[in-house]
A and B are shown apart, each in its own frame.
Chain A
């Protein structure tokens, strides 16, 4: 069975601090896909990134960066120089490739609060 664990329930930092959100996953699939979604206070789920299991390159997009390590089954998300607009609940998710495994399995989410 697939499982995603986000051990940090809530994080609160002051603006401009760097913050890392942890994500650990479990799967028996050799091919799988990892995702991060953002849920701002307005409630919608916004796609941030997808990473394939065979691509361990880290990715940077502006102030956002992602560190994928298969050896530790982790896919962590770092926000550099955080801003108040980054306040949201962030979800890590996992899906398989085959039919029947294409649903997203979500972690419990990390509520991030950026204080001015």
Chain B
């Protein structure tokens, strides 16, 4: 158990809908990362937050947004869902990304299926 929690574990929804994925980082970790794992794209970085502020963005679609709250949990919002958004979404957290010893620990993932 990495200490990172994600809910829900599975999500099935229809095209055009909007969903919210939730992540709670390990105790004490300030940085949260979101990654998408799909068969064709592999593991891709979406976005990073550090202590409530957005720090880096990857190839995140405009239909997707995220935020990190004062209690450091994070939510990833996916809207106008398309079939191609079906994937495993991982949240990771780390203590201090500016330190060389920093390591990202991953949650169990949320499997999103868009029908």
Q: How far is the CA of A100 from the CA of B105 in the complex (A)?
A: 18
Q: Verify A103–B48 contact, CB threshold 8 A.
A: yes
A114 to chain B, nearest CB (A): 23
Interface size grouping (class) on chain B: 20 to 34
Q: Is the CB of B104 within 8 A of A104?
A: yes
| A99-B98, A102-B48, A102-B97 given; A44·B106 CB < 8 A | yes
| CB-CB nearest in chain B for A101 | B56
Chain A residues in 8 Å Cβ range of B106: 37, 44-47
Please report which residues of chain A, range 13-67, place their CB below 8 angstroms from some CB of chain B when the two chains form the complex. 31, 33, 35, 37, 43-47, 50, 52
Interface of B is mostly: strand
Contact call A108/B103, Cβ cutoff below 8 A: no
Chain A count of residues within 8 A CB distance of the other chain = 24
Apart from the given pairs A43-B88, A44-B106, 19 other A-B contacts in the complex at a CB distance below 8 Å: A35-B103, A43-B108, A43-B109, A44-B108, A47-B104, A91-B43, A97-B100, A102-B48, A102-B56, A102-B97, A102-B98, A103-B45, A104-B35, A104-B43, A104-B104, A105-B45, A106-B43, A108-B42, A109-B43
Q: Show the binding face of A for B, using Cβ within 8 Å.
A: 31, 33, 35, 37, 43-47, 50, 52, 91, 97, 99-109
